[in-house]
Structure 1
């Protein structure tokens, strides 16, 4: 029996009892516990399960995270709960986590009562990251001695296999952007589509209010977003980060398109009378009701299908925008500001994606290295 401190709730002395086979074993265990207590690393036994701890951890995280973010956390950890949630937190092992990871990669997509194909590497990695974060907090709370998931990694072979099986869809090239602009020139949502091509996130376009625009000064303020939680519930909130709250200049074609769209909405309001909602948002339907990101995407995909354009995510218009700006000499610090990032490395890593034609100037420059003359191309 070892004294291990006092209960903070009652002030009573707390003791641990261990039963061992010999006096020598008991003395060794007593010394081990005493040392861990002295070092502040003693973990008292408890019967809490992984699920119970995740519930507590998520409830605490919800105090500091946006509703959409905590919803993502819950979905991400739900992938873990089914196979690991019933295990006692202190009995969870690295082998348990490793086995879950391999199962998730092979057959983690649950279909009704049976397993389906494996989850994507990114999905498994996100679940692992959240589990590691929760277990790190459990270590800090002295509920467990170590984070057993800390060294679990996605096998390199799994990453390579996924890359071979699914090629990344590149964003639109400049030529494809031109084709899309021509296709939407007479579309009712021409102005919101141009805002997307300016690099605004779909949630930022949906959250844009007329009050955020100064058409006389040709500026806009990104300060509000409307996103979907669980692909169903619309949530209105401020920007993704402090850097996301930013002011941007309006290019002349975008300002003109917005002026026309505002006039269109005024005519629609007059025609609808009392049926018009008057929500104050830029992106609304003919009766003034705000559109959500799914509806905006649906309109864009409809244009792509009708005009035989290569289908890409509307979100990837950001990559087309920032790649073009980077290729045309916009400095890194301005590029990050336009994107709504604090660190330009994030902008360049995720959104600057030069294609073969973007590298053509480098190919011409290479000729100077050799000293060879540039051949004159003769038309046939």
Structure 2
């Protein structure tokens, strides 16, 4: 068998050593591919020939590719986000914006750990493009999210045989300690709800503090999602409809089947985050009565406005029937909190408040988790159930009874 390494002499008399290796077929065209290698010495050529042949035979040879990081991410995102909600897809795209800006035009096979380290430094010092002053640094949470998405993409590229190893895994993410969500005590909740009683959206605020997400509250529709049950019929004892005295807990329900969310400035209607998000929640008499009061109020407003009234069918609308904007709803929650004289928490912390108070009241965590629409009780416990310093007195009382 002839030696695959050939000695060649260039026009200027320089001697080189060259060999050609069959590296298999192009996965897209099916055509046979060969690669030519040239070295200064036969020893170097022999070493590279043996190494390359071994990799080809083992199936670990990485074919040269000019695919850029940006091009690869386009394809990776299509598969990685195929079954995700629109808002989740946006989260992926946003996380990879710094990568596209700093490394998008670079061939993926040429990206080094140093390239990614420089991108991280740029993100921490000047990477902000929105959500604050452009040109300032991004926080550790944003940097970690970007690194996480990039690492996942490079991991797939490694499995596909496009790159030899995942250099993104070698970059250490910045330390990040998430802020602990703030919650209200049951007394603060009562103060807020007392003030909210005079607000036309009392029912919505109550549902928020029953643990529904903002999008879930704003996505509720009268006909499809709210069922008053026998509350809407004449009771046997007092012979009146909407009888609070005869209301049986859970008679009325709200069915969470969709959410109204804000994505890139656009209001969209999307299904719940998961199958667990589809749920029918039984209501107490206070929530059921507040919903009935709101329905009556909207009927009066429709008569007053006349033809200009928008019959959207949604529960949470303004005085002319238009569904309220998600950002307005969050801001209004803050304004109402201030008027109620309670400490300021963000709207989503109302959900944390509800689930924490349910757990403290002795509701089994499995029920709390199902109420919240979560897939896992451990997630509910670790993310949404919080104990305050005042709650430590419960431990003191328990120990006193045990050891007293």
TM-score exceeds 0.5: yes
Aligned residues: 362
Aligned to 1:171: 183
8 Å CA contact 1:221–1:247 kept in 2: the answer is: yes
Shift of 1:168: 4.1
Aligned to 2:278: 245
Q: Which protein shows a greater Rg?
A: 2
8 Å CA contact 1:226–1:292 kept in 2: the answer is: no
Q: How does 1:191-270 map to 2 (within 5 A)?
A: 191-210=203-222, 211-216=224-229, 217-230=251-264, 232-270=265-303
Aligned to 1:133: 152
Shift of 1:169: 5.0
Give the 3 Å change call, closer, same or farther, for CA 64–16 of structure 1 in structure 2.
farther
**Corresponding position: 1:119 with 2:152:** no
Deviations 1:88-139 (A, max 9, x none): 2111112222232233234432489x96443222111111111111111211
Give the 3 Å change call, closer, same or farther, for CA 186–325 of structure 1 in structure 2.
same
Please list every run of 5 or more consecutive structure 1 residues that lacks an aligned counterpart in the other structure.
372-380
Task: Choose which of 309, 316, 331 in structure 2 pairs with 1:298.
Answer: 331
8 Å CA contact 1:227–1:234 kept in 2: the answer is: yes
Give the 3 Å change call, closer, same or farther, for CA 117–174 of structure 1 in structure 2.
farther
More displaced 10-residue stretch of structure 1: 92-101 or 362-371: 362-371
Task: Choose which of 314, 319, 324 in structure 1 pairs with 2:352.
Answer: 319
Aligned-CA RMSD value: 2.1
Shift of 1:310: 2.0
- In 1, the alpha carbon distance for the partners of 2:28 and 2:214 equals 49
Tell me the secondary structure at the aligned position of residue 18 of structure 1: strand
Aligned to 2:198: 186
Tell me the secondary structure at the aligned position of residue 96 of structure 2: helix
Shift of 1:368: 4.7
Aligned to 2:98: 79
**Corresponding position: 1:360 with 2:393:** yes
Shift of 1:348: 0.8
Shift of 1:60: 3.6
8 Å CA contact 1:200–1:318 kept in 2: the answer is: yes
Give the 3 Å change call, closer, same or farther, for CA 168–118 of structure 1 in structure 2.
farther
Q: TM-score, normalization: structure 1?
A: 0.89
8 Å CA contact 2:143–2:174 kept in 1: the answer is: no
8 Å CA contact 2:140–2:174 kept in 1: the answer is: no
Deviations 1:167-194 (A, max 9, x none): 6451222222122111211101100111
More displaced 10-residue stretch of structure 1: 343-352 or 75-84: 75-84
